[in-house]
């Protein structure tokens, strides 16, 4: 289950509930890229993973908001805590070569896979294939 936690207050109020849910299903917490909280409470609560996303898709993709070095540190921190790691946020096909070397467990695509407006359009099989093609078959299963 993917759960978005977008403010400090929201995280504080939801973490005990997430801890209870994590006993019965895998929880992946989604955080905004401009928010870099301590990830230890999520690991302690039993979350399966943490994903970074962008709040404002119009502000550009994840790599326009965070450098590869910051993303590498995020991935390393998730690994050190035994968490799955996801990277998302208006990702484009051209972002894949820069993100794959970071070895996240998941890359999250939405707009890049849709015919038009991500809220109303269906998935485009050709776009899905275009995103999948540059990801080697030896990549982690989430990619």
The residue written with tokens 């998935």 in the block is 123
CATH 3.20.20.70 fits 2-132, yes or no: yes
Which residue ranges make up each domain of the chain?
2-132
Q: Model pTM greater than 0.75?
A: yes
- Give the range among 5-9, 102-106, 136-140 with minimum mean pLDDT: 136-140
- Whether residue 76 has pLDDT greater than 80: yes
Residue 39 has pLDDT above 60, yes or no: yes
Nearest CA-CA partner of 80 in 143, 38, 137, 112:
38
């Amino acid at each position: 289950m993917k759960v978005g936690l977008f403010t400090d207050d929201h995280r504080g109020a939801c973490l005990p509930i997430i801890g209870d849910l994590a006993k019965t299903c895998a929880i992946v917490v989604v955080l905004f890229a401009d928010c870099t909280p301590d990830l230890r409470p999520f690991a302690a609560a039993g979350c399966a993973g943490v994903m970074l996303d962008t709040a404002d898709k119009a502000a550009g993709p994840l790599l326009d908001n965070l450098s590869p070095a910051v993303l590498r540190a995020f991935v390393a921190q998730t690994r050190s805590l035994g968490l799955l790691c996801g990277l998302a946020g208006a990702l484009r096909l051209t972002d894949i070569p820069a993100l794959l070397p970071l070895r996240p467990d998941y890359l999250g695509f939405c707009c890049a896979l849709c015919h038009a407006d991500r809220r109303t359009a269906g998935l485009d099989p050709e776009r899905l294939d275009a995103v999948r093609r540059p990801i080697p078959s030896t990549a982690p299963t989430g990619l």
